[in-house]
Amino acid sequence: MQQIILIGDPVAHSRSPVMQNAALQHLGIAARYEAVRTTTAELAGRVAALRGPQYLGANVTLPHKQAVIPLLDRLEPQAARIGAVNTISKDAAGALVGANTDAPALLADLADAGFAPAGRCALILGASGAARAAAFALAETGVATLVVANRSPARAEELLADLLIAITDEQGLTASGDLPPTLVALALADRELASYLAACDLLINATALGWHNDETPLPDPPIGPRTLVYDMVYRPTRLLREAAARGAATRDGLGMLIHQGALAFTRWTGREAPLAVMRAALQEPG
């Protein structure tokens, strides 16, 4: 029986084991997926253990998506640009390869929701590895304005500085020859945030607030019915409730979880992920 693990702290809330084990069982793959709480002090040892033949790979979640990078042998190009890893697989020689399946998963789920980011205004709450994935995905899709609001504005500024370097050439143009999006870094407490919230078409919560209690990164957000509020937390949250009360469209992160898990599954097993099976497993109580 081979193993796949989820590395993070905390991980007890994760629904990934339910989804991934259902997919493994459906395809008759002799492997088991397990969430393993891993502190910062334990991270290096946990990643080193993945080199053993019993491991197919791992997922990585908060707070390790950036810290794990120096422990890997190489990164897929998109993960290198983003500077965050949520999936570890092995190549034919056994080397540990870091990937970011969060970015394409977010875009896939936005497409499922009928939302096209190109030419729109997007605002991301947080500057974590998940926020980096969202920012790079949206920038590369052609958003017109991208705002990152974080408790520490310095981290938001760092994220956007890295993004600008990654997506532009020496002339300051993107790969398509266009100007990059307007980039704005703010503190969550900044008074300017309200005006951007009123103007933006997409609000994404990429913080962990909402996972374990009724906290929210943005109490009673001043948004209207033209905004899609997307919470990466895949459960009902205060942010989504308050946004819905203001007439906004809302979407939790369950679809993103499924899409990123499917992309990771294929890297570990070489098999196409059974999306319908994974979705059905997550809809069961538990």
171 CB neighbour count, 10 Å cutoff: 6
Task: Tell me if the domain spanning 103-252 has CATH number 3.40.50.970.
Answer: no
Domain ranges of the chain: 2-100+260-283, 103-252
The fourth-level CATH superfamily of domain 2-100+260-283 is Leucine Dehydrogenase, chain A, domain 1 (3.40.50.10860)
Annotated catalytic residue 65: yes
Residue 140 CA to residue 107 CA, distance in Å, equals 10
pLDDT for position 177: 83
Q: What pTM was computed for the model?
A: 0.96
Share of the chain above pLDDT 70, in %: 100
3-class secondary structure per residue, 206-255: CCCCCCCCCCCCCCCCCCCCCCEEEECCCCCCHHHHHHHHCCCEEECCHH
Tens-digit pLDDT profile for residues 163-214: 999 999 988 988 888 899 999 999 999 999 999 999 999 999 999 999 888 8
Catalytic residue among 15, 46, 64, 65: 65
